[in-house]
């Protein structure tokens, strides 16, 4: 692990919070993390901005009203019902918010005022509802996981598993922004056209029969760039304010039939889930790693994608895990089972490279935009990060402890992503979870399935 820049007292592992749960070993939300979310409570259903601390949510809207340490533009942004305004103030503002919040929650430093109002400012995490962190103006999904591209390509186009452009172009497509949702609820199985059984025969129509997840990370953007002005690679990481877990739900049968030549459309746009929490880029500073080492023979990135600092610590060491709980498992009170793990360090392109590429044509990014990395598979069989890959398109189903098998997802299946970072000498930080439970397709409003 290369030493990343910007390590400061907010990363000091000795700091403790007066919220005791934040000080437990391996707590996901210690005082060194402080990820942001938009939350509400039964008592106050207005969505507002908070940070996670231990097992509590700390209400930044309320505390910023009473605290003069927050500069006025930040105070205004913290009154909003989404994080767009705060993100538009850029990483400097986010750093300030995290620093002040850490002081207010610090066991040794927090003033009487905060502690006196703690009951009012803190709400148990489990009793909050979460809202989409930003109004997502645009959502873009990359394809930067080379192990995924190779595994998926081997199934779809075995003669040419990795596209010829792969090692030059950070491939991406525009996703659907309106159907991005917080990963905590139901995901309805989509209807659509499924591939013909044989060439030159009609497709069939009905509920997707090959419903899948894709394990990705997402990141949110700061102020962005005006139309026509690329963001140079050396400045790109400053435009990334925070990271999250992202599930790029995929309907494989619909996808196979629809995607030539213009890419995935309905096979993705029924739902994309993100975790409620945005882990700030600053909190992740200790967990930056070198960009994936390119094997001998791979080309050097073109100039607009190459930056020495980005190569040195543009990567992310985030451990990722996928759990599955079927309806039958839940009925029997059996715990969810881990079906795979992976790590964000396997991405072929860094987030900064994605931003530089996205804007090289002048495309304007905007505060609150969401970018997905693409599915993050790893080199081992247990690190194939979609059902498509690790069941070889359903042909080698996963055996679950209760005897059930899964080639693709069934109705009632609940998929949970978890993520976290740990490193000797630093506090462990977590991303929370990104969860979705599959609901049966709704065939009531359209013509009959065939």
Judged by CB under 8 A, the chain residues 185 through 224 that form the site for a copy of itself are 188, 190-193, 199-200, 202-203, 205
Q: Which is nearer to a copy of itself, 31 or 246 (CB)?
A: 246
Please give the residues from 366 up to 385 whose contact with a copy of itself meets the rule CB under 8 A.
366, 369
CA–CA dist 428, 22 (Å, integer): 11
Smallest distance from the beta carbon of 348 to a copy of itself, in angstroms? 15
Q: Is 165 in the site for a copy of itself (CB under 8 A)?
A: yes
Q: Which is nearer to a copy of itself, 232 or 290 (CB)?
A: 232
CA–CA dist 410, 439 (Å, integer): 9
Q: Which is nearer to a copy of itself, 166 or 243 (CB)?
A: 166
CA–CA dist 230, 424 (Å, integer): 38
Long-range own/partner contacts, residues 225-232 (CB < 8 A, 24 or more apart): 225/359, 225/364, 225/365, 226/364, 227/362, 227/363, 227/364, 228/362, 228/364, 229/359, 229/362, 229/364, 230/304, 230/356, 230/359, 230/360, 230/361, 230/362, 231/355, 231/356, 231/359, 231/365, 232/304, 232/356
Q: Using CB under 8 A as the criterion, what x/- string covers residues 295-324 for binding a copy of itself?
A: ----x--xxx-x------------------
Q: Is 50 in the site for a copy of itself (CB under 8 A)?
A: no
Smallest distance from the beta carbon of 444 to a copy of itself, in angstroms? 9
Residue choice 77, 94, 271, 354 for contact with a copy of itself (CB under 8 A): 271
Please give the residues from 107 up to 146 whose contact with a copy of itself meets the rule CB under 8 A.
137-138, 143
Q: Is 364 in the site for a copy of itself (CB under 8 A)?
A: yes
* Among the residue ranges 4-12, 28-36, 184-192, 419-427, the one whose residues contact a copy of itself (CB under 8 A): 184-192
* Centroid of chain to Cα 331: 29
b (16+ CB within 10 A) / e for 304-313: ebebeebbbb
- DSSP helix/strand/coil, 182: strand
Active centre residues (catalytic):
148
Residue choice 262, 297, 333, 401 for contact with a copy of itself (CB under 8 A): 262
Residue choice 169, 336, 393, 398 for contact with a copy of itself (CB under 8 A): 169
Pairing verdict, β 172-175 and 180-182:
unpaired
Smallest distance from the beta carbon of 443 to a copy of itself, in angstroms? 10
Contact of 87 with 137, CB cutoff 8 Å:
no
């Amino acid at each position: 692990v290369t030493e990343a820049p910007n390590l400061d007292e907010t990363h000091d592992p000795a700091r403790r919070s007066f919220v005791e749960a934040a000080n437990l070993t391996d707590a996901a939300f210690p005082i060194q993390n402080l990820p942001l979310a938009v939350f509400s409570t039964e008592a106050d259903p207005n969505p507002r901005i908070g940070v996670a601390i231990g097992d509590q949510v700390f209400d930044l809207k309320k505390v910023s009203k009473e605290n003069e340490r927050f500069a006025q533009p930040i105070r205004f942004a913290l009154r909003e019902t989404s994080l767009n305004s705060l993100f538009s103030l850029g990483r400097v503002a986010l750093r300030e918010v995290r620093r002040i919040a850490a002081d207010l929650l610090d066991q040794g430093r927090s003033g009487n005022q905060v502690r006196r109002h703690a009951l009012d400012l803190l709400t148990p995490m489990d009793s909050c509802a979460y809202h989409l962190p930003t109004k997502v103006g645009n959502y873009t999904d990359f394809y930067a996981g080379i192990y995924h591209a190779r595994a998926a390509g081997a199934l779809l186009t075995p003669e040419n598993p990795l596209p010829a452009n792969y090692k030059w172009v950070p491939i991406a497509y525009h996703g659907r922004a309106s159907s991005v949702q917080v990963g905590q609820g139901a995901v309805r199985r989509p209807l659509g056209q499924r591939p013909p059984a044989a060439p030159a025969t009609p497709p069939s129509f009905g509920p997707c029969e090959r419903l899948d997840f894709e394990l990705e990370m997402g990141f949110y953007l700061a102020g962005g760039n005006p139309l026509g002005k690329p963001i140079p690679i050396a400045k790109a990481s400053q435009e990334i304010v925070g990271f999250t877990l992202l599930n790029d739900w995929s309907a494989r049968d619909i996808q196979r039939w629809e995607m030539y030549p213009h890419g995935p459309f309905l096979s993705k746009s029924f739902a994309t889930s993100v975790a409620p929490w945005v882990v700030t880029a600053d909190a992740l500073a200790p967990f930056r790693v070198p960009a994936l080492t390119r094997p001998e023979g791979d080309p050097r990135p073109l100039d607009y994608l190459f930056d020495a600092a980005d190569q040195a610590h543009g990567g992310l060491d985030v451990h990722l895990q996928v759990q599955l709980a079927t309806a039958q498992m839940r009925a029997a009170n059996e715990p969810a089972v881990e079906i795979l793990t992976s790590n964000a360090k396997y991405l072929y392109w860094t987030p900064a490279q994605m931003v530089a590429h996205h804007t090289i044509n002048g495309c304007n990014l905007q505060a609150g935009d969401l970018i997905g990395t693409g599915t993050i598979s790893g080199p081992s069989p247990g690190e194939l990060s979609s059902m498509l890959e690790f069941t070889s398109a359903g042909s080698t189903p996963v055996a679950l402890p209760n005897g059930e098998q899964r080639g693709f997802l069934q109705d009632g299946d609940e998929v949970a992503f978890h993520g976290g970072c740990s490193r000797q000498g630093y506090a462990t930080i977590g991303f929370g979870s990104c969860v979705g439970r599959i609901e049966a397709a709704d065939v009531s409003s359209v013509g009959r399935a065939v």
